[in-house]
Amino acid sequence: MTPPKKTTIPHQDGPWQYGEETKAVHAGAQPDPVTGARNTPIYQTTSYVFDDVDHAADLFNLQSFGFIYSRLTNPTVAVLEERMASLENGRASVCAASGHAAQFLTFFSLLDPGDHFIASRNLYGGSITQFGISFKRLGWNCTFVDPSDPENFRTAVTAKTKAIFIEVLANPGGIILDLEAISQVAQDVHVPLIVDNTLATPYLLKPMEWGADLVVHSTTKFLSGHGTSMGGVVIESGKFDWAADDRFPTMTQPDPAYHGLTFYETFGDFGFTMKARAVGLRDFGPSMSPANAFYTLTAIESLPARMDRHVKNALTVAEFLQSHRKVKRVSYAGLSSSPYNDLAKKYLPKGAGAVFSCELKGGFDAGVKLVESVNLFSHLANVGDTRSLILHPASTTHRQLSDDQRDAAGAGASVIRLSIGQETAEDLIHDLDEGLSKV
């Protein structure tokens, strides 16, 4: 395992805070010391040679940093981990095979059977199922609350509560939460605030600047950006005091898996990341492949330019749909008519993302008809692609939820989710207009 670096890129004249575009290209990477290769290589290897027996023992005992086995660490993946920590202004990060795997590692590192966490009810449908059903089988209990009032999180806190989880830019409804206020609640009750920043990306929003303690991403989406590579990541701020009380024994008590090592005492401000990697990745194995890390690193280099284009197109398309006679409502925080427009200006001044929903006149059948009538938009279950994507959540991603849960999540029967890509905006409008003419 390699020790996490600080998030500034070294500068010949001393520490220098580089801009987002520069960090997206350079953070974590350097020319290969053996070959001089400028691009980060794909280290397609399972394991690494030890210097001697003592070196191997030190690595396995977490007394020395280095590479052991690619289930735990890989040089290509390590560059992506450093880049993500840099972009999110965090201390360290650990990558996983998917966004769901990153969430699993996060909660596994926090919770014991019988423990509890609180989540916004405005989440990706897969997260609602993971938290509300699958996690329950592990003895981890989740309470979903209406996030529009931050005090609802405080009311839901119990003696067993270990975290609050939110999406600031919620999927798929175009809802924005008051991050600063929710962060204050988390601080008051001393639990970490976990933010899924997938839809905003660190280019549009840095949750840790507003008090988040942990940030997770599905790197599959905008970070990978081209619909090629699965992945997830969890980043820690390094600022949460795990030892302030006895609420977090997984961090502050001796771990029998490492001869009584205490992760927070031993590793300090990157103790959570070490716990997730050394125990979670080791014992469950949801590792990111080096090839997927390589493709994601390459895509992140263009993230700022891509996000600027995404949000510009999204606003143009949302304005068109808002005026269409067959559209009942558009939920996009970038619109001046949105009740979340002020929060968008506060938290996402560069743009309110590129994923939003619209509600059609005509119910469930109208939604089905539109997704089957467009040509340029791809009908599939993903977001954050260079291509524009369309989905009917009630029949796909949110199908497993009840009607009430779908409505609460902004994914009712006639709701369409759009992920706006980088095509010519006029072409996207023409395609939607043609499709709506058949509804």
Nearest to 119 by CA among 47, 56, 194: 194
Name the least confident of 40-49, 92-101, 387-396. Answer: 387-396
Nearest to 72 by CA among 293, 264, 274, 313: 274
Between CA 276 and CA 286, with CA 280 as vertex, the angle to 5 degrees is 110
Fold of 304-436: Aspartate Aminotransferase, domain 1 (3.90.1150)
Q: Residue 55: what residue type?
A: H
pLDDT at 394: 80
CA 114 to chain centre: 26
Tell me how far apart the alpha carbons of residues 115 and 141 are, in angstroms, rounded to a whole number: 6
- Report percent pLDDT > 90 for the chain: 84
Q: Helix crossing, 303-322 with 425-436: angle to 10°?
A: 40
Higher pLDDT, 200 or 414: 200
Quick one: 110 exposed, middle or buried, by C-beta within 10 A (0-12, 13-18, 19+)? buried
Confidence at 6, pLDDT banded by 50, 70, 90: low
Nearest to 128 by CA among 139, 119, 140: 119
Nearest to 20 by CA among 79, 69, 73, 88: 88
Residue pointed to by tokens 């996030």: 147
Would the pTM of this model clear 0.85, i.e. be above it? Answer: yes
Q: Which CATH number fits domain 20-299: 2.20.130.10, 2.40.110.10, 2.60.120.560, 3.40.640.10?
A: 3.40.640.10
The 10 Å Cβ neighbour count of residue 76 is 24
Confidence at 2, pLDDT banded by 50, 70, 90: low
- pLDDT of residue 1 exceeding 70: no
Residues 261-277 have pLDDT tens digits of 999 999 999 999 999 99
- pLDDT of residue 103 exceeding 90: yes
What are the φ and ψ backbone dihedral angles of 384, each rounded to 5 degrees?
Answer: 80, 20
Helix (H) or strand (E) holding 216: strand 214-218
pLDDT at 263: 96
Mean pLDDT of the 45-51 span: 95
Tell me how far apart the alpha carbons of residues 182 and 165 are, in angstroms, rounded to a whole number: 10
N-terminal to C-terminal alpha carbon distance within the chain: 55
Pairing of strands 116-120, 161-167: parallel
Between CA 227 and CA 137, with CA 175 as vertex, the angle to 5 degrees is 70
Nearest to 118 by CA among 78, 85, 152: 152
Residues 283-297 have pLDDT tens digits of 999 999 999 999 999
Q: Which residues neighbour 205 within 8 Å (Cβ) at sequence distance 6 or greater?
A: 168, 169, 197, 347, 348
Helix (H) or strand (E) holding 145: strand 141-145
Strands (E), 274-383: 327-331, 355-360, 378-379
- pLDDT of residue 229 exceeding 80: yes
Higher pLDDT, 333 or 5: 333
Mean pLDDT of the 101-108 span: 98
* Residue-averaged pLDDT of the chain: 93
Residues 333-342 have pLDDT tens digits of 999 999 999 9
Residues 369-378 have pLDDT tens digits of 999 999 999 9
Domain map of the chain by residue range? 20-299, 304-436
Q: Which ranges in 168-243 belong to alpha helices (H)? A: 179-189, 201-204
Residues 127-145 have pLDDT tens digits of 999 999 999 999 999 999 9
pLDDT at 398: 64
- pLDDT of residue 7 exceeding 60: no
CA 22 to chain centre: 21
DSSP one-letter string for 347-365: H-TT---SEEEEEETTHHH
Contact between 129 and 182 under an 8 Å Cβ cutoff? The reply is: no
Tell me how far apart the alpha carbons of residues 89 and 92 are, in angstroms, rounded to a whole number: 9
Confidence at 17, pLDDT banded by 50, 70, 90: confident
